[in-house]
Amino acid sequence: MAEAKQKLQAQDRLSSILRRLHAGGTVAVADLAREFSISDMTVRRDLAELERDGLLERVHGGARRSAAGPLRLIDDVEPTFDARAAHNRSAKAAIARAAAQALAGFRSIAMDIGTTTLLAAEALAIQPGADKQQIFTNSLRIAGVVAGRVGEVYLSGGRVRPDEQSLLGPGAINAFAHLNFEVAVLGVSGVTDEGFFDYSIEETEMKRLYLNRSAHRIVLCDSSKFHRLSTTRICALGAVDLLITDAAPPPELESALKGAGVALRIAAPN
């Protein structure tokens, strides 16, 4: 658990460094050490890691943007569910509240697995009118939260993934393959101008099914996932109608989202 938390903190630092590079072109070791309350040596290790990935060029006292192209952080190791649930909790709660409001007018809702979608399910279940809604999910956690509080709950079949408490594989796909949903709510592990990403190939298959079988498509994504690539691409930006997040994306990503027709809703944490 401690190791997973440290990994998330390190990933946030790297993402933050990349955002600052994009905004200002350069960063200074001393400024980053002071901001993150870490040693100069730790900052230099972070910069060295980003340089190895071709994302920046180190200079005396700091770093500058690489001329190679867009700034992206590759993240292919999935932290545990508990570690992710504790990470950016207030931001995810704000996103979840906004998601519940956006879902108020829908009856049949497909809900993806994930820490933010779980919070959204909790928020949705206490809203007026929840007893008229149908929830379709492959998340045992979400089913447990909404059961008895919304009108109807449907679980897919499939193999259980223990840590995530999700249902996967052909059984899960076949259970929902011929259904149609008014709206799908997805969680992701990253978003770049190339699209939305996730760690798991099997989880991605379910996400694509939800997208393909839904009239409206919503992604919930906190700002630490901007410019972050993971193992597999779920879809292009244009496959999604609405992105709910906690802070404005960097300008070039915001422009890519707008160009792809993705509406943006900012739910600032309290």
Assess whether the region 2-71 and the region 81-266 belong to the same CATH fold: no
pLDDT digits (tens, 9 = 90+) for 101-112: 999 999 999 999
Under CATH, what is the fold of the domain 81-266? Rossmann fold (3.40.50)
Q: CA 193, CA 70: separation in Å to the nearest integer? A: 9
Q: What is the DSSP string of 72-86?
A: -EE---PPPHHHHHH
CATH number of 2-71, picked from 1.10.340.30, 3.40.50.970, 1.10.10.10, 1.10.3720.10:
1.10.10.10
**pTM, entire model:** 0.78
Q: What is the pLDDT of residue 176?
A: 97
Q: At what angle do helices 29-36 and 2-24 cross, to 10 degrees?
A: 140
Q: What is the pLDDT of residue 212?
A: 97
> Which DSSP category does 29 fall into?
H
Is-contact 45 52, C-beta < 8 A?
no
* Alpha helices in the chain, H assignment, sequence order: 2-24, 29-36, 40-52, 81-86, 89-102, 115-125, 140-146, 170-176, 201-212, 251-259
User: In a 3-state reduction of DSSP, which class is residue 87?
Assistant: coil
Q: CA 262, CA 242: separation in Å to the nearest integer? A: 5
The segments of the chain whose pLDDT lies below 50 read: none
Is-contact 55 14, C-beta < 8 A?
no
Q: What is the pLDDT of residue 71?
A: 55
Q: What is the pLDDT of residue 12?
A: 73
Is-contact 141 84, C-beta < 8 A?
no
> Can you give the residue ranges of every domain in the chain?
2-71, 81-266
